[in-house]
Amino acid sequence: MNIWNIRDKEDPMPSQLCKNIIFVAMPQQLSCKACYQHLWRTAVLLPLSGGRWVIAIEELFRDAEHLGIEFRYPNGQPFEIPYIFDVFGDDLDSARRGMNNFLKADSTGTKPDSHCRCLLKLQCIELLLQCTVAKYRRGPETPLCSFSHYPLGW
């Protein structure tokens, strides 16, 4: 399965003149219960194991420039791409366990079993979802979810 189907079929090569700016989710978005559950529900639908999630995020960050993608905060500041094992753990096994914990459902199967408090980890997960599932739909012009933030409504 190719999760990188993000380019137009007519334009297979990314152009440096046509950058896709991806806006990173802010703490207000990721701490909102409704937005967090939306992020989780979307993430569990992807057919990726915990370890494959980490590899997919690492590949996204590695290939972003080649794909014509820029990551920015809504205020325009560039998002500094983190070293993947600084975010997810010291090795692939601990990273896999961390993602499996994030993806784990409660006894009803409809909500997350626990809430991840690591903002950078949640931002990385959200960036992958935004680049694959959402196709870059959320931006600063997205209507507000509340008085304090834009929704993760992709």
User: Which pLDDT tens digit goes with each residue over 8-20?
Assistant: 444 444 444 567 8
- What's at 94, amino acid-wise? S
Q: Where are the domains of the chain?
A: 20-132
Strand, helix or coil at 32? coil
Q: 21-55: per-residue pLDDT in tens?
A: 888 888 888 888 888 888 898 899 888 888 899 99
Q: Which residue has the higher pLDDT, 141 or 108?
A: 108
What whole-number distance in Å separates Cα of residue 136 and Cα of residue 50?
23
* 74: Cβ contacts below 8 Å, ≥ 6 apart: 23, 24, 26, 139, 140, 150
Q: What is the pLDDT of residue 70?
A: 93
